[in-house]
Chain A
Amino acid sequence: MKKINLKINGSEYSLEIDENMRLIDLIRDVVGLTGTKEGCGEGECGACTVIMGGVTVNSCMVLAFQANGKEILTIEGVKGKGNDKLHPIQKAFLEEGAVQCGFCIPGMVLSAKALLDENNTPSREEIREGISGNLCRCTGYNKIVDAIEKAAYYLVKEAEDNEI
């Protein structure tokens, strides 16, 4: 057993865990945040993507103790409090019809967020590159790319409005 401290979606956790526990199991089974999905368990599909210390990781490929002292963002932490506080990425995914079965969506939204946090005017090619670690079997990706493009526009507009 090992004791670790970490922050998930802004909340502090101090947990006793097995050394061989994966981060995804900590997130889902210990903390109870089931929005993070496991599609392959070997880092291929990206459904378990979370943002750790500002970069995306496959939480099935990270051991939980490696998150000690880190700050983690899961899908549950992306939107603000209340249903009307959707993140622009989530709003754009809804509007563009980018969601079908939805199993890839938590990972897609987080990969999109990591991309847009770095680059708020990505080209379509950069968007495709940004989600290249996330598999989707339903949409054919086009609507997801459309949604991220729209989200970038919303974010730029939001930043401009805030300046005024």
Chain B
Amino acid sequence: MKFKTVGHSEVRVDAMAKVIGEATYPEDFYMKDMLWGKTLRSTKAHAHVNLDTQDAEKMEGVIKVFTYRDVPDNHHGVVLKDHEVFCSKKVRRIGDPLAFVVAISNKIAEKALKTIKVEYNEIPAIFDPVEAMMKDAPLVHENHKSNIIFHYKLRRGNIEEAFKKCAVIIEKQYKCGMVDHGFLQPEAGLAYMDGDTVVVCAATQYPHFDQLEVAEALHISQEKVRIINPAVGGAFGGREDITMQVHLALATKVLGRPIKTVYSREESFLAHSKRHPMVMTYKTGADANGKLLAMEAELVGDTGAYASWAINVMRKAGVHATGPYEIPNVKVDSYAVYTNNPFAGAMRGFGATQVPIAHEQQMDMIAEELDIDPITIRLINGFTLGSTTATGQVLSDSVPLKECIEAVENSLGIKNHYEEKMEELAMEAGVGI
């Protein structure tokens, strides 16, 4: 079959504007009579707060200081509505928004921020997700009885019986850290009124979700909110949650004038989600031939102060916990846990990125114990057409894992000479399977 587009190289529709400097990102919009907004953010991880905004409000050039009192429905969040638009009683992480200053210039707004007095009464904070699961741990959200907000269970076969038959069992714990998307365009936005419709122009991965969240927080109908998504300077999952959209919408609705805000790189780091750090405890067993018989894993995902996409991310981590290997007996428990760390959400791979650190290291160690090379152990256990995954899915088409491994093996010329060849290659450059 011949296609018009598939199989051909096409120039992106927006590439021309981008190479000549005419693509417009949110910070490239300027409007007449535009005001500037700046966000006051928490400097403590867990504290009760009191704000005194009087000095800022009296400052020449300051139009208004918005706080939780100005928000009709002071909540937002993609899955759980656990963010406050502006914190009312307590902050749950460094970077939590407390107030939004609107002034006639960016400089004045910045100056006014410094005059806001914030009284913090610090309370015990929790930064370790495993400790946060314990009964006596400080609660990040009082309306949840526990910091555990999600538990995904996967059960297949009988691991106890299967581990008894294993010739080798490897038990290890793996930890991976927090990662920021580092998209190149820091968050920026411009909002204005078009008749009685609130228009918010911001780089986002979810304009329809933003519309819903803005409408809910402002207590207006969705039809009265328009989200314009101009050029987006990278996202990688980091723009799947609201940042300044509600702040801007609220300010323009109340003041009737266009409001613009541009985050610095530093504020961008504070404002958006991170990749979930995980603590992954694995027990994997195989028979003497290297055939995997059983795997048990506990995954603890630190979602920080807010759930964001934690439920979906930790479910996916749980589903992918075996890696691309057929294992007849599997038990996985995957948790999403609140802490007072920066909040974690979507980032490239959505939970499937962390678990390979654990399951692949387990494979290497099993291979080493049994004196099998790392390629063979993967070929013995890898998914192929007709394989059943731990969740019971039968893979009925397109499972090219083994072809892929064999192609790597052939191109490195390591077939049947794994050890010598790898040593030789390692002299030239880093190499590993």
Contact = CB atoms under 8 A, between A and B. Distances in A.
B264 A76 contact: no
B20 A78 contact: yes
Contacts of B14: 102
Q: Please classify how large the interface on chain B is, using the bins under 10, 10 to 19, 20 to 34, 35 or more.
A: 20 to 34
Q: Which of B11, B184, B264 has the most CB of A within 10 A?
A: B184
Q: Please classify how large the interface on chain A is, using the bins under 10, 10 to 19, 20 to 34, 35 or more.
A: 35 or more
Please classify the interface of chain B as helix (H, G, I), strand (E, B), loop, or mixed, using the class held by over half of its residues: loop
Contact of A137 (B22, B183, B231): B183
B21 A33 contact: yes
B157 interface: no
B426 interface: no
Q: Which of A39, A79, A90, A135 has the most CB of B within 10 A?
A: A39
A38 B25 CA distance: 11
Interface stretch (B232-240, B360-368, B369-377): B232-240
A94 B11 contact: yes
A22 B206 CA distance: 34
B24 interface: yes
B184 A137 contact: yes
Interface in B1-58: 9, 11-12, 14-25, 27-28, 30
B313 to A, nearest CB: 20
Interface string B215-258: 00000000000000001111110000000000000000000000
Please classify the interface of chain A as helix (H, G, I), strand (E, B), loop, or mixed, using the class held by over half of its residues: loop
Q: Which of B16, B18, B19, B231 has the most CB of A within 10 A?
A: B19
A61 interface: no
A102 B24 CA distance: 10
Interface in A45-100: 45, 47, 74-76, 78-79, 83, 86, 90, 93-95, 97, 99-100
Interface in B181-240: 181-186, 231-236
B9 A97 contact: yes
A76 B20 contact: yes
A47 B186 CA distance: 11
A136 B184 contact: yes
A94 B24 CA distance: 18
Interface string A117-159: 0000000000000000001111000000000000000000000
Nearest to A34: B28
Contacts of B17: 102
Nearest to A25: B106
10 contacts: A29-B30, A34-B28, A39-B186, A45-B184, A93-B19, A94-B11, A97-B11, A101-B235, A102-B17, A106-B21
Interface of A: 29, 32-42, 45, 47, 74-76, 78-79, 83, 86, 90, 93-95, 97, 99-106, 109, 135-138
Interface of B: 9, 11-12, 14-25, 27-28, 30, 181-186, 231-236, 264-265
Q: Top 7 nearest A-B pairs by Cβ distance? A: A35-B21, A102-B18, A75-B21, A103-B233, A34-B28, A103-B184, A90-B19
